[in-house]
Every structure is written in C-alpha cells, then in structure tokens.
Structure 1
Amino acid sequence: MPKETKARATIDNEAAAENTNQEIDSKYRMIIVAAQRSKQLQRGARPRIEIDLQRHKSTRIALEEVQQGKVDFKIIEEQ
C-alpha cells in the first residue's frame, strides 16, 4: 500500500532563485498560497501589485498577486 504524502506550500518572503516563475500545479494549491499571502497583507505587508487598497479586499489582492506570479512559494512534502 503506497504511503500517503501531504504537501503544503509556504510563502517565501525572500525571493529564491529556484522558485522564481514557479507555476502552481492545481487550483487548490493556488488557493492555499493566496490565503497565506492574504494573511500577510492583513498583518501589514505591502501589496506586490499596483491596486486600489480602498476598493479591494486582501483576499482579492492576494489572488491577483498569485495569478500574476508575484508571490514566491516553496512546496514542502510531508510524510
């Protein structure tokens, strides 16, 4: 019976060369990365895209950043 492997994504605040332009392989992982980025924005992080902060919530900003490839992340395999 194969072992179940879980993966989680963490956002790298420092841009790592190997993660630059890394594509997200599923819509579920994209949501996880965007949710983590949204938490950072709520805690005071500056947006990485130009957007009106008064008109958009942190979740929308985070999702847009992820879709534009502005968020560096690392996938950690857990066993």
Structure 2
Amino acid sequence: MTIENAFHNKYSLVKGAARRARQLQSGASPLIVAKSMKACRVAQDEIKQGHVKFVLPERVVEPVVDLPPQ
C-alpha cells in the first residue's frame, strides 16, 4: 500500500503529517527511531512506515425541519 492509498488524498496526507508534527512539537514521543530531529520529517517517516493511520470522522447530519409559514 502506498502512502497515497493509506490516506484519502494528497491533501489529507499533508494535513495528517502536519497534525502529527504538531503533536511531536508539543512533546509526544516519536513512534520510530528517526534520523532527523525535525518534527515534520519524523511525522512523514512515521506515515511512510505505517505507524500513523488516517481516520475519517463520522459525519453527523442534522435533519432539516420545514416549518409552516406563519
């Protein structure tokens, strides 16, 4: 499975890497032993190696109620 298949599209891949990089910068432990100290690169490597997954949240749709005219 390629990185592009693991994520919905390239935009979600970038958003996922950015979110993970923010977690790393905030003190989260890396999931791999990385060569780089840069959070963005570590996040990309974690995704490439399959340690970070992308989950689409459930979409809640509110019902539309048509009220009679007053």
Which TM-score band (shorter chain)? 0.5 to 0.7
Q: Deviations over 1:33-76 (max 9, x none)?
A: 00000010001111111114xx4310010011112111133212
**Structure 1 residues not aligned, in runs of 5+:** 1-21
1:37 corresponds, among 4, 10, 20, to: 20
1:43 is aligned with what amino acid?
S
**Structure 2 residues not aligned, in runs of 5+:** 62-70
- Mean Cα deviation higher: 33-42 or 23-32: 23-32
Residue 35 of structure 2 is aligned to residue 75 of structure 1: no
Structure with greater contact order relative to length (CA < 8 Å, sep ≥ 6): 1
TM-score, normalising length from structure 1? 0.59
Provide the aligned C-alpha RMSD in A.
2.0
How far residue 27 of structure 1 moved from its aligned partner, in angstroms, is 1.3
> Is the helix fraction higher in 1 or 2?
2
**Larger C-alpha radius of gyration, 1 or 2?**
2
> Is the strand fraction higher in 1 or 2?
1
